[in-house]
Structure 1
Amino acid sequence: MGIILALITAVCWGSIVLVSEKLGGDEHSQTLGMTFGALIFATAAYFITQPKLDSETFAVGLVSGLFWVIGQRNQFASVDYLGVSKIVPLSTGMQLFGTTLFGVLIFREWETSQEITIGLIAISAIIAGAVFTSIKDKNEKGKGNDYKKGLTVLLVSTVGFVGYVILIRWFEIDGWKAILPQAIGMLLGGIVLSLGHSAFNKYAVRNILTGFLWSTGNITLLLSLSMIGVATSFSLSQTGIVISTLGGIFILKEKKSKRQKVFIMIGLVLIVAGGVLLGYTKK
């Protein structure tokens, strides 16, 4: 069940950047709209499940939500430099490295030699796949392919996303209890980061839909964390980059050379293979 939940997250999160780009707006309105959508979803879920919230759960969830805002806002911003089909695979590889490092070294989620061997092969395949899908064409120029700025923004994004996942796992917060305080932290962070940017517009309203999409993926990830651990659940959830990468090319019409398309297909095969292998690291 934990693997199935993580794969649901993959489908939801693999569609977010793609859907948000189609809905329009800049990183500020996109992030703000998502946080509103997440809060609406979390409020409804809270009244349905009625979990008991103590001060620790609320505080950890709130901070986790703030970390997420940093991650998502900067991921949206990095699209302007590199495009969806490059940003999402690169972001995935960086997040996988961070979450797996914590999951294995701090939480000791891979204990046997077999788990460690399979896990390392799987992670290597996913990261290699992310690199293949983001290979730059020799003729690419201009702001849309500014790697230095794009990677700097992505690094900040990665810190945010990794912090968001690890905090919940570190304090062993139940997924249903975490989503409301998380959503409150997300909205507060979204409002602060949007100050002075005229983010309250029609695009923010449209991106409430991406908030619903993200929230569905979020709750399935949080529920899977306690079942199969951070390293496996988060890694499986990131295989959704297949959706965003192909969507960037065929839906958003991002130009790719024949050479890049070959590398992209090889990369996607490696990513999916790595995700399948990760399923064998937990009994």
Structure 2
Amino acid sequence: MTAIVLVSGTSEGVAADIDRATSYDAGGTASAGRIGGPVEAGQVAPPAPAGRRAVDAGSRSTVARHGVPVPAGYYWRIWVYCPAGTKATGGGASTHGYPTGLHASKAIDGGNGWEITVSNNATIDVYAWVEAVCVSGLTYYSLHTATSSVAGGQINATAVLCPRGVMTGGGGWADTNNVSLRSNRPHSLTGWVLSLRNRDADRRGFTVQVVCVEGVQNVQHVESGWQPIVNGLDRIVFTDACAPGQSRLGGGADAPAIVSSSPYDVFEGNTNWVVTGVVDGAPTGNVRAVLICGT
């Protein structure tokens, strides 16, 4: 069974390749790691400690979290694994400090965790966290991807749909870190859309990923609504929490450039989704957060 791909935001007519879905058994261990280096040259970082975990009160959803300091002028790939018996239905990144950039956010192959790539363009170290929303009791789990490309200096968007089950989260990545993620969010109730701006001069490829599951019901989106961004400042927006009896499954964002998109205050018992956006060189812009809930 193959995923359904929608290509939009471009007149280039770029064909999208589709990866066949793979199902996975439940499993995974709770641990975390990091690897990174200067923007101009990669470098392996020391091993990182295990990630922390918090459980949304009264739900089947667990958030695994791992944070590391990102050195000034470096990009860093950070990952965290879900506890045994759960799968990553969504995830994201949060940072303390600006200017930082979010360049990739995706489920680890097999659904056993989440990984991100962030950059630190400041002159001091900035802390960054990867967060995986890990859910138990799933009867089916699959990751679907689609590839496309975007010309130098241009913007392109591609969506991939679940051919089976329901969408609970997604993300994507490009073959360069010199990109801005603009949309990384649900596409209706069945798919995920990724939009990015390519700041390289050359055409670059990118991949969109959607998480599809069975074993959850009553999936719905809780949106923050659009909020304005003033040039030179970042803007943080929050969604409302999931309704009583619902579990947080994932979330996403729209912005001229997404700095962070993640569960909010997971260790304080909240079930919101929080997003930080910046204008990415334009005079003004808007940002919104989207939370995915279900039972």
TM-score range, shorter chain: under 0.3
TM-score by length of 1: 0.26
Give the helix-richer structure, 1 or 2: 1
Higher relative contact order at CA 8 Å, sep ≥6: structure 1 or structure 2?
Answer: 1
TM-score by length of 2: 0.26
